[in-house]
Structure 1
Amino acid sequence: MYNSLWLQTAYRRDSYPALDKDISCDVCIIGGGLSGIANAYFLAKEGKDVILLEKDEILCGATGNSTGKLTAQHDVVYANLIKQFGRDNAKIYYEVNREAVMFGKSFSEGDELRNAESILFSQSKYGTELLQDEKRAYEDIGIVGEFGRNSELPLRTEATLTLKDEAQIHPVRFGQHLAKLAVKAGARIFENSDVRLMDLKKRLLYTNSKNEIQFNELVLCTHYPIEALRGLQILKLTVSRSYLVSAPANMPLTGQYISVDNPKRSVRTAHIDGKTHFLLSGEGHQAGMEKETQVHYENLSSELRNVYQLDAMKYGWSAQDPQTPDLIPYAGCISNSMPYVHLNTGFRKWGLSNSLVSARIISDQIVGRQNRAASLYAPDRTGFGSFLVQALRNTGLVLKEFTGGHISRTDSPVCTHMGCRTRWNEADQTWDCPCHGSRFRKDGSVLEGPATKPLDLG
């Protein structure tokens, strides 16, 4: 079983109690990652009575298994955003993510955040053309980026595109600090409090311990929304998995890098308690589609030794990321019929800045404040054609995995979400569902949703 650098070097944990009684609140937030904690902070600061429920421990999911880049440079994205949404919307996307970076800088302390340059780099003529297109998009939007060959990496790079004054964070320490600020503002956080049943019409939730929560507004920050079927989000999200390794190093980088062509790699260093750690990530695939995942860790570990001249990895972990069909996450009310149910998901591997952006959008909606990015991030925004294409693909995958899985993997337990057969993930020691990305621990307990019930391993 592999471990995340961030989880292993977190602050000493603050203990949050499990919910042990019936309770009511203005806003109930489900999910204790950075998006849930940010929602709790923003809404508590507005005077709302906020409860946050986490089924395990806060920050141990997607946040604790991220790369820790707090940046508005989300790979090659702005040229595509201009084509799909127009210049003004692409500019809004940049501005709100840039504001998220500045918000992070406003309260972080010590090793929680360090300034860094964000750098895209190409390794081929095709990649350089992508960078040139992206640079033109920067100029159109008004982003100040430097095109050149500014790379500290021991790699052959054709070109680079740099954004200065960005940030990299220790995502767990950063989130722990924000959680303290949320509690100080009045939010109540409950861990080991798993929501098992929802009655959205009555605005009631029930936990695994049969406690009842009455809410006025509900915010789903569960990575893959539990109530996804209502707005067909379950047919609008694909889930990908990527791998990260880390080794001790004496080569702190001033930049954080991502390649725009293959092999797809993300590189950064982290400075924690006086020690430097080198992080390398890549090797992605659709969630739940591979059993022998050990090879991805081995490939990255080999690169640490052979390319970067570092010792074998000390830490290795993997991250799972839902993605919308049009690059922009979903943040806002889940459907017009239930304007009091909100979700944020689909961060496409850029969940640190987008978690903060989404939390701003949702908190503004709940308090009745205008947010210029609300329509851009809205779950019910237009673009049905692309949604339909992905829905057909995902539905086809579900049908294939449901029928084929039951025939070919009769020894694998059935996912408790929609009945697909899971696959055993040897490297991470988890049962992974290829249909909608649910993950279960070796003992069958839920690690990641949308499943809410444990596997039957009998």
Structure 2
Amino acid sequence: MFNSLWLQTAYTRDTYPQLEEDVSCDVCIIGGGLSGIANAYFLAKEGKDVILLEKDSILSGATGNSTGKLTVQHDVVYTDLIKQLGLENAKIYYEANQEAVLFGRSIAEWDELRLADSILFSQTKYGTERLEDEMKAYKEIGINGELGWNTELPLKVEKTLTIRDETQIHPVRFGQHLAKLAQKAGARIYEKSDVELMDLKKRLLYTASSNEIQFNELILCTHYPIEALRGLQIMKLIVSRSYIVSALANMPLTGQYISVDDPKRSIRTAFIDGKTHFLLSGEGHQAGMEKETQIHYEKLTTELKNIYQLDSVQYGWSAQDPSTPDLVPYAGAISPSMPYVYMNTGFRKWGLSNSIASARIISDKILGRPNKAEALYAPDRTGFSSFLLQALRNTGLVLKEFTGGHITRTDSPICTHMGCRTRWNEGDQTWDCPCHGSRFRKDGSVLEGPATKPLDLS
């Protein structure tokens, strides 16, 4: 069961070569998810010599394990954005993501994208109050939202907040299509090309097979930045994990839903090759902190059967995503001392629209174009002192897990990133690091960074 619906129903996979020679380029991109591919497309289209390096296969990470919602409705977020960052920044966030949604619509093929209403729903008085506050934020920003009461779900719902005609995509097919467009524009894409060493001052990268890449500018689209320590982003990103199960269904939903009350649930259907698939996701927790993760799949599977009367569960998968302290991703130069090294992360589970929005910000910067979202998404905006409490909380977790793990999990392999003991994830059959979110396959090979070297399982 533990396979992503999107990866299993992708187009026939195009294979990209492994890098087997020394190369040079204007821009090197590390990471073959949607953010990396979008950066490659935007820059290659404007004449930049672009190389994209993916350590496994493109789109097999966060993009291929997402919910497939390309929308500006990112849960209840605009109320908090106005409170924390002001009305103007909340507008900029909305407009950047709306532009991303429109871009997706402009290039997608018919079997990659469908329109669907995006709907938040409440089941408690407190949840309803949150929706009413969010509607006020919508009005201030200029978002066309509707408060209502009815849904097509077999649930007791107090109130809904709807944005009409939003978008849901097949994220892997969409990403495969975009990769072809990037390649057609001149981007060179390499798979099975793992970057192991960096000399950022000399602007050099070295792959595991000892090939050298000379670059003028570098974009890290590795989910959790390899060089995060330089800008202290490693102290500011919290990595969380959530779970998805999918079953065949008879009737497609017209909306895609998120509950604002606990337990959090995301609900949608996907129509793929003549079949309707019902997707139910939720059961989140901080990455690497649980061993018996199969219970989360079991809870969702039970809900599919008892609430939605669906027994034919075909797929189950999980995804993890870093979050920044202020709800907005990082997209920009990683450090003022190295303005030619960019990072792209912190999507808070809303990486489809934010990947495209962030890629536009970074590519505009490289191309010398103004982008009004640049300051809002800048990695250095969150000064360390401003979020000292969260930084200390993260640091405390790392110290606790580093020392405690070496005492209580002596048989668990040591993460090759910063030496924490990993924890076995029974549900996904992976070794997960609770310190910074690195994940390793059963055989010890790296599944997700920031680690770049395999576990020693001997």
TM-score (norm 2): 0.99
Q: Does 1:401 align with 2:401?
A: yes
Deviations along 1:421-448, whole A, 9 cap, x unmatched?
Answer: 0000011000000000000000000000
Equivalent AA in structure 2 for residue 39 of structure 1: N
Q: Which residue of 1 aligns with 2:192?
A: 192
C-alpha separation in 1, matches of 2:98 and 2:41: 19
How far off its partner does 1:119 sit?
0.3
Q: Does 1:412 align with 2:412?
A: yes
Verify the 8 A CA contact 1:326 1:386 in the aligned structure 2: no
Query: Does residue 224 of structure 1 match 2:254?
Result: no
Secondary structure in 2 aligned to 1:314? strand
Give the Cα–Cα distance (whole angstroms) in 2 for the partners of residues 280 and 419 of structure 1. Answer: 35
SS for the counterpart of 1:229 is helix
Q: 1:293 to 1:382 in 2, by over 3 A?
A: closer
Task: State the partner residue of 2:43.
Answer: 43
Aligned to 2:337: 337
* Equivalent residue number for residue 349 of structure 1: 349
Looking at structure 1, the residues matched to 138 and 124 of structure 2 have their Cα atoms a distance apart, in angstroms, of 21
In 2, distance between residues paired with 1:40 and 1:150? 42
Report SS of the residue matched to 1:230.
Answer: helix
TM-score, normalised by the number of residues in structure 1: 0.99
For the residues of structure 1 that align with 2:13 and 2:255, how far apart are their CA atoms?
A: 30
Match in the other structure for 2:88: 88
Matched, 1:314 2:314: yes
Q: Percent identity?
A: 82
SS of residue matched to 1:452: coil
CA-based RMSD of the aligned residues comes to 0.8
1:202 aligns with 2:199: no
Q: Aligned-pair distance for 1:208?
A: 0.5
Determine the structure 2 residue equivalent to 1:79.
79
Pairwise CA distance, 1:387: 2.5
CA distance in 1, matches of 2:312, 2:217: 48
Report deviation, 1:388: 1.6
Q: Secondary structure at the match of 2:289?
A: coil
Aligned pairs (5 A) from 1:97-246: 97-246=97-246
Letter in 2 for 1:62: A
Deviations 1:107-150 (A, max 9, x none): 11122000111000001000000000000000111111000113
Gaps of 5+ in 2: none
Contact kept, 8 Å, 1:325 with 1:386, in 2: the verdict is no
Whether the aligned pair in 2 keeps the contact of 1:112 and 1:171 (CA below 8 Å) is yes
Residue 301 of structure 1 contacts residue 312 of structure 1 at CA under 8 Å; is this kept in 2?
A: no
Q: Is the 8 A contact 2:150 2:157 kept in 1?
A: no
Alignment partners' CA distance in 2, 1:247 and 1:110: 23
CA contact (8 A) 1:119 1:256 kept: yes
- Cα distance in 2 between the residues matched to 1:315 and 1:278: 10
Separation (CA, whole Å) in 2 of partners of 1:243 and 1:199:
37
Distance in 2, Cα, partners of 1:386 & 1:413: 35
- Distance in 2 between residues matched to 1:379 and 1:321, nearest whole Å: 17
Distance 2:68 2:134 in 1: 23
Q: Secondary structure at the match of 2:436?
A: coil
Instruction: Render the CA deviation track for 1:221-250: whole Å, top value 9, x for unaligned.
Output: 000000000001100100000000000001
Displacement, 1:391?
1.1
Residue 256 (str. 1) matches residue 271 (str. 2): no
CA contact (8 A) 1:33 1:61 kept: yes
Q: What amino acid is the match of 1:218?
A: L
Paired AA for residue 192 in structure 1? K
Runs of 4+ that moved beyond 4 A = none
State the aligned residue count: 458
Match of 2:222, SS state, is: coil
Q: CA deviation at 1:312?
A: 3.9
In structure 1, the gaps of 5 or more residues are none
CA deviations on 1:342-369 (whole Å, 9 max, x unpaired) are: 0010000000000000000000000110
Alpha-carbon deviation of 1:21?
Answer: 0.1
Task: Kindly provide the CA deviation profile for residues 361-392 of structure 1, in whole angstroms up to 9, marking residues without a partner as x.
Answer: 00000011000000000000145445321110
* 8 A Cα contact 1:55 1:194, kept in partner: yes
1:17 match: 17
Where 2:456 maps in the other structure, the secondary structure is coil
2:268 corresponds to which letter in structure 1?
R
Q: Tell me, yes or no, if the aligned pair for 1:114 and 1:169 is still in contact at 8 Å.
A: yes
Cα separation, 2, equivalents of 1:336 and 1:360: 20
Determine the C-alpha separation between the residues in 2 that align with 1:312 and 1:237.
Answer: 37
The answer to whether residue 269 in structure 2 is matched with residue 265 in structure 1 is no
Letter in structure 2 aligned against 1:60: S
